[in-house]
Structure formats: structure tokens, C-alpha cells
Chains A and B, each alone.
Chain A
Amino acid sequence: MTSARPMIALAGLSFSYGSGHPFVLQEISLEIAAGTVTALLGPNGSGKTTLLNIVLGWLVPSRGHIEILGNAEDIRSRKELSRLIGLVPQDEQMTFELSVAEYVLLGRAPYLALLEKPSEDDRCLALRALDSLGLSDVRERPITTLSGGERQLAVIARALVQEPQILLLDEPMSHLDIANTQRILKVLTELREKGKTIVFTTHDPNIAEVADMVVLLKKGRLQAAGAATATLTAENLGATYGVRVEVVTIDGRPVVLTRV
């Protein structure tokens, strides 16, 4: 929350997958500052991924509106948007065995014309992104042979090669062990230092805790939003998930314990 001008502003935003379908998101109003990390937290089906897809421009809100950097999203071209926003999807589909470097190079697409292929400069950028995430050694390996953590880093590298200002990550730490989770969190906080605006979804309140802002969603509605310490309370989490939790503070940071 360092900038007065929000990077992403949502006002009265609602979304449904068509007339007759229930609203997946309802009346969401939210401002996300530039250069911050925001965690979207909520039970399965609470609308976290839908919200990311609306910020991405892939889905168009049924009601309300969204502004990116002060501009309505719908006035931007697809190419402009792709230079501004990068996506790390929950489960990247990789049917064919591209090498890690070939896959990361796809991130240059927003800067290439329809029939253009990547230049030597684009290749250098891809290699630099791989190097910055510690993937240089595996760059010629088929991406399908990487471990879960390396693979997730490769997807992040692909999104970073887009040179986006906003990075959206859908459950980037799911299925990862503690070491890889820490590795990804470290990358995210380093990207924040470089001024990137990060929005990620998660199921784990103890991962959300690293964010500057935590947004709690329940059944498509905004349950609470604010700094981690103020939002990750036993009361808010209990109301969001419908279970009893205990929140203790260690070194000034909230730690959520579940009670069975």
C-alpha cells in the first residue's frame, strides 16, 4: 500500500457465467496498490480464480467495472494487456515436450507480430529470466521432466519474460513441499522489491500471511480485506470457512492453527 494511485481498482463488480447462472462474484469493490503483494483467500468455489481471470481480461464482469492503472480494462487491446499483466495458471497445460528455454521464450509473444518469430534479443531475455530464477542448468531439459517446484518457477519465468507490471498467480504453491513453497514465496517478495504488483490465490492462510493485503472471499462475496494481521483473525477465518481456528502471533506475524 505504498502508492496513492491503485494499480487495480474493482468497483461493484459482479460476475455470472451467463443469464440463468448464479453469480460467482457479487459486488466486489477493491483497490490494489502498485508494488504490493495481495493474497486472495477463500474456500473452494469462492470465486478466487474467476476474480483473477477478470483482472486478466479473460472474463468480462457482468456488472460493475474494473480499472487497471486508471484505465478501463475494455479500452485496452489484448496485446497492451498482455504486456501489462502476466498469468501463472494453476495447472499449466504442457502436452508437448518443449525444452524449458523454448517454453519460457513463449513469454515474448506480446512483443511479436502475428507472423514474427523470437529474435536473438528475445532469447537473451528468456535466458536471463531463467538465470534469475536459478533454472539455467535445466534450460535444455524437456519441461515435462522438471520437478513440481522447478516447473512452477519455469511458468513464473515465462510470465516474467512478458515484462508485466502485474503478475497474477493461481495457487502457485499448491502441491509443493515446504522448501519449494519457500522458494516461490522468496521469488514473489523479490519481485515486489522490483516494483511488480503481485496477486495470488491460495488455500493456506499461513501462506497468505506474507502478503501486504489479504482478501477473504466467501461464496463470491468479499468477507474481509486489509493487512494480514488485521484480516487473518480467528473470527474472520471462522466466518469464511465455517470452522474453528486459532490464530497466534509469532514474531508479530499471525499463525493460523486449525482445531479439530
Chain B
Amino acid sequence: MSERNPRSRRLWWLLGAVLLCLAGSVLLGRYPGPFLTPLSALRDDRLALDLILNLRLPRIAAAFLFGMVLSASGAVFQMIFRNPLVDSGFLGVSQGAAFGASLAIVFGGGAAWAVQGSAAGFAVLGLAASYTLARRIRLGDWVLRLVLAGIAVSALFSSATGAIKYVADPNRHLPDITFWMLGGLWGITWKDVVQVLPVIVPCLVIIYGLRWRLNILSLRDETAFSLGVAPGRERLILLIAAVASTAAAVSKAGQVAWVGLIVPHIARRIVGSDAQRALPASMLIGSVFVLLCDDLARTALSGEIPLGILTSFFGTILFLVLLLKRKLGSWR
């Protein structure tokens, strides 16, 4: 319980792991050799330095930031919906983004700014539609209504995306849609990173600041109210922060699946379920997870492996390991 708890110390170990991964990632790459850029190359090889400063570093920054965002948002979704199996795939956010991106690729010319803007816009619209619908449903409590509405909105966006794929030009548009849906950071520049910072930083500050109250919001509404919390209002603030930051990340990286679902589980295993520690742990582990997957995505083959494929693959394996090692009747 105390801040001097060994579990709290594990946060410092995680922070160390993040710094190590960041440093290692800078040197990982396919220039000049196949896997590693030697330190001497930074001094002697102008091209290597340019490559690191202008291509590798923004990509590392994006992986670090997006990993944090996706896992922090996942932790928020799981706690405010009192359900350890939800992530941004609920509430129409991911499907909304996919629809927005497909729409812009096929009918909007496919310019990067149009795809990103449309994905972010429809992700937020997905949440707004789910929220509005949930207020009109007359079944169950707030959480159930929101999840039901989210499932319905996601299904609608999915079918609309399917329709767009059906009419899309199979040679020009369909590969772009597929590639976007598999996610990746190959095109990320410093400009992209700077563009999302004004959205991501305030959202992460809000989520981090309210992390202890997430524990209260995971209890019944009546209990939260009896503890002086405005459950509806505080959930909405956290929800908007989680969705807006996810939309910003997804608009640049496409669909990077499984991070928001699996990382909070790993964090709870390591530092316990108290969101005071579990949220920062999720953010740190999320950044390491996406960073390592992206390192692999850009170095394993001479071509690029879509990031979403790797996060799904390793996320699923970790999920199965957690499930098989889980104590009966407990979620951490």
C-alpha cells in the first residue's frame, strides 16, 4: 500500500527498460549494416546521422508515444467499463477510424492529410454516435448501454467499410486500405509527431492526473457517487481524453491492434491493480511493446512488416500466456 511498496519500485525498473529500449532502437536499423548502426557511423557517416535524425528518431518517438496512448486508453476503457476485455475497438472508435480512412482513400484522393483527418474525425464521430445512442437505449445500466451502442455503431461502420472496399479500385485503392488497416509507422516524419502532440499530451496529462480516481470509477455508480465522485461526468472526461488521443494515434499509424487490450493486463500483473501504479506501468510497457514491435517491423526483413500484424501476433501470444497462467476467478 505504501509508496515504498516493492510494486512501486517496479515502475522504476520499467522506466529503465523504456530508456534502454529507446537507446537501443536508435541504433537498430538496416543502414549501414543489416541490423545495427555502429556508434562510429554517427560520427563518420553523414548519411547515417541524417537517417537517424530524420527517419529513425521520429519513428521511434511515434512508437513510444502511440504505445503509451493506446495502452493508457485501453486501461481507461477497461476500468470505466468495469470490463477487462474492452479496448478502443468498442464504442465505434476503431471501426469509425477505419471507415474514415477508407472513405478518404477511395473518394478523397488518398492524400495523407485527408486520410488522417478523416480517420480521426470518424473515430470521434464513432464515440459521439455510441454515446448519443446509449443515452436513448432503455436497457440495463450506463455501462451496458454504452457497450451495446458501441457494438451497434462498430457493426454499422464495419459494413460501410466493407461496402467501400467492394467498390474500391482493386489496383489503386484496395492495397492502400489494406495497408492502413494493418497499421504501420513507415511514413512518420517529425511533422507528424508535432501534429499529434497538442492532442496527445493534454489527453495523457488528464488520464495520468485522474488515475487514482479510475479505481473509484471501476466501482458501482452509487458507490462512486457516495464517495463524492460525479461518475457520469468524470467517465465522460476520461472517455474523451482516451478516444481523442487514440484517434490522433490511429490517424497517423493506422490500426495497431491488441496493444490497448493486452498491455494493461501485463501491467496489472507486474505492479498490481491499483491504477495509481497500473496506469503508469501500462504507459511504460505499452511504449516498450510498440517500440520493440516497430523495431522488428523495420529491421527483420529488407521490406517493411506492417506493425499491426506484429502487435496482433505478439499480443495474442502474451494474451494466451496470461490466460493459461491466470489464477482462477481473478483478473489483474
Contact = CB atoms under 8 A, between A and B. Distances in A.
Interface of A: 53, 56-58, 78-79, 81-83, 85-87, 89, 91-99, 101-102, 105-107, 109-110, 114-115, 117-118, 123, 126-127, 139-140, 142, 144-145, 159, 162, 168
A87 B1 contact: no
Given A87-B226, A109-B228, A123-B1, A93 B331 contact: no
Nearest to A80: B228
17 contacts: A56-B225, A58-B225, A93-B220, A96-B215, A96-B218, A97-B272, A97-B330, A99-B272, A102-B1, A102-B272, A102-B274, A105-B1, A109-B216, A117-B276, A123-B1, A126-B1, A159-B226
Interface centre among A98, A107, A118 (most CB of B within 10 A): A98
Contacts, number: 106
A109 B227 contact: yes
Interface bracket on B: 20 to 34
Contacts of A56: 222, 225-226
A105 B228 CA distance: 14
Contact of A106 (B79, B82, B219): B219
Contacts of A144: 329-330
Interface of B: 1-2, 79, 82-84, 209-210, 212-213, 215-216, 218-223, 225-230, 268, 272-274, 276, 329-332
B229 A145 contact: no
B227 A110 contact: yes
B226 A95 contact: no
A134 to B, nearest CB: 18
B273 A96 contact: yes
B159 to A, nearest CB: 31
Contacts of A95: 82-84, 218, 331
Nearest to A116: B212
Contacts of A115: 209-210
A97 B210 contact: no
A185 B218 CA distance: 28
